[in-house]
Amino acid sequence: MNHSTSAANEVESALNHLMEHGYAVIEGVLESDQLAVLRSQVDEVLATEHAAPVVPEGGSAAVVDPAIEKYLADSYTVGKDELARIMQRVRSTRAAELDTPWPFDIRDVNKTFLHLPTLFDEDRSQRIWNLLKKVDAAAALVEHPLFLELARAVLGVDCVLSDCSGTSIGPGTGGGAWHVDVPLGQLDEPLPDFPLTTQNVWMLDDFTEDNGATRVVPGSHLSRRKPTWAEDDVSDEIALTAPAGSVAMWLSNTWHRSGPNESDRPRRAILCYYGRSWIKSFNDFRAGIPREKAEQFSQTLRYLIGYSAHGPQRG
């Protein structure tokens, strides 16, 4: 069997499992040297941003409704300092948006429009937003031929990148809440009978039963329902275990959450989140990545982050 035939068979097998069960895991994708570079670059950013979290300037406290702060405090396990930083990010963004408020309850706002925690689980877990700006080695993951082909097979050939981030689930943490991915959380049931987005998780560490490996409920993507936002065990859930260098992929309507990390080390990963071209992206890459850096990306990657993939100025 030649290489092209083998690759085609791998795509077909993964796609079949993805559509039937709502997830797929492919092992041995990253070579050891590539994995080492990614770990090094991600760890450097994690350390820098944990010591000095990114907090933009600007904005007035007077234009932010206290209901936003209460919603964030009730929804996420964040400390007082991180909550204050999120609120400053909200104020800065609000100022850039001409101090335009959301004209309805915060619980009805699409999470794509919200700032979410960078440090959570009381600062033991961490997210790196806008990873393509900060980790050069991440670009190759976004346009990896196998996983880009899978994303296009599920979402259409014109799909785009909605987000690219790094994550570290800290030791001694209890895991996240069950959810489906945006924008499904804002839709009424029954949910659409087709996926709107896909998530690819590049494992920088072994994913094990006890170190926070992502939990999914196989077949839940067919239920057209949303899970209850809770951390309780769910019948039929499984942990997506695999060695470092593997990739887990799931559909937006598959129930999932990060598992409890009962080990003494963090569990790290890179997330590449793709969406249908007609859905608003989670991240505004064109604003967040300097133009001179985007110029160095391939044409494929530039399209995926929004170049020639957004509404033009008309008239």
- For 258, how many CA atoms within 13 A lie in the half-sphere containing its CB? 27
In terms of domains, do 290 and 227 share one?
Answer: yes
Is residue 249 in a domain? yes
pLDDT of residue 62: 77
Q: What average pLDDT does the structure give for the chain?
A: 94
pLDDT of residue 5: 62
In terms of domains, do 70 and 213 share one?
Answer: no
Cα(74)–Cα(70) distance, integer angstroms: 6
In terms of domains, do 146 and 294 share one?
Answer: yes
- Quickly state the pLDDT bin for 8 (edges 50, 70, 90): confident
Q: Exposed, middle or buried, 116 (CB in 10 Å: 0-12/13-18/19+)?
A: middle
Cα(228)–Cα(218) distance, integer angstroms: 16
In terms of domains, do 280 and 207 share one?
Answer: yes
In terms of domains, do 193 and 100 share one?
Answer: no
- Quickly state the pLDDT bin for 185 (edges 50, 70, 90): confident
Is residue 315 in a domain? no
Is the pLDDT score of 83 beyond 60?
yes
Strand 256-257: give its sheet, edge to edge.
Answer: 238-239, 215-216, 256-257
Question: Could you give the percent of the chain with pLDDT greater than 90?
Answer: 87
Strand bridging mode 267-275 / 197-203: antiparallel
In terms of domains, do 79 and 44 share one?
Answer: no
* Tens digits of residue pLDDT in 46-71: 999 999 999 999 988 777 789 999 99
In terms of domains, do 139 and 28 share one?
Answer: yes
* Tens digits of residue pLDDT in 30-47: 999 999 999 999 999 999
Q: Cβ–Cβ contacts within 10 Å for residue 151, how many?
A: 26
Q: What are phi and psi of 61, to 5 degrees?
A: -60, -25
Here the CATH number for the domain that contains residue 208 is 2.60.120.620
How far is the CA of 11 from the CAs of 14, 15, 195, 227, 254, in angstroms? Answer: 5, 6, 18, 29, 20
Last residue of a domain, one of 89, 117, 145: 117
Can you read off the two tokens belonging to residue 284?
């505004």
Taking the CA atoms of residue 178, residue 183, residue 186 and residue 192 in that order, the dihedral angle to the nearest 10 degrees is -90
- Quickly state the pLDDT bin for 1 (edges 50, 70, 90): very low
Is residue 314 in a domain? no
* Tens digits of residue pLDDT in 213-269: 999 999 999 999 999 887 788 889 999 999 999 999 999 999 999 999 999 999 999
Identify which of 199, 205, 215 has the alpha carbon closest to the alpha carbon of residue 259.
215
Cα(161)–Cα(313) distance, integer angstroms: 22
In terms of domains, do 184 and 160 share one?
Answer: yes
* Tens digits of residue pLDDT in 111-155: 899 999 999 999 999 999 999 999 999 999 999 999 999 999 999
In terms of domains, do 42 and 90 share one?
Answer: no
In terms of domains, do 73 and 199 share one?
Answer: no
Q: Name residue 199's beta-bridge partners.
A: 250, 273
Is residue 310 in a domain? no
pLDDT of residue 6: 64
- Count of domains forming the chain: 2
Query: Exposure pattern of 62-71 as b/e (b: 16+ CB <10 Å)?
Result: eebeeebbeb
DSSP state letters, the chain: --HHHHHHHHHHHHHHHHHHHSEEEE-S-S-HHHHHHHHHHHHHHHHHHHHS--------GGGS-HHHHHHHHHHS---HHHHHHHHHHHHHHHHHTTTPPPSS-GGGS-GGGS---SEETTTTEEEE-SHHHH-GGGHHHHT-HHHHHHHHHHH-TT-EEEEEEEEEE-TTB-----B--TTGGGSPSSPPSS-SEEEEEEESS-B-TTBTPPEE-TTGGGS-----S--S--TT-EE--B-TT-EEEEETTS-EEPPPB-SSS-EEEEEEEEE-TTS--SS-HHHHS-HHHHTTS-HHHHHHTTTT-SPPP--
- Quickly state the pLDDT bin for 10 (edges 50, 70, 90): confident
Boundaries of domain holding 293: 3-51+122-304
pLDDT of residue 7: 67
In terms of domains, do 73 and 129 share one?
Answer: no
pLDDT mean over 75-88: 94
Residue with tokens 């004209």: 103
pLDDT mean over 78-106: 94
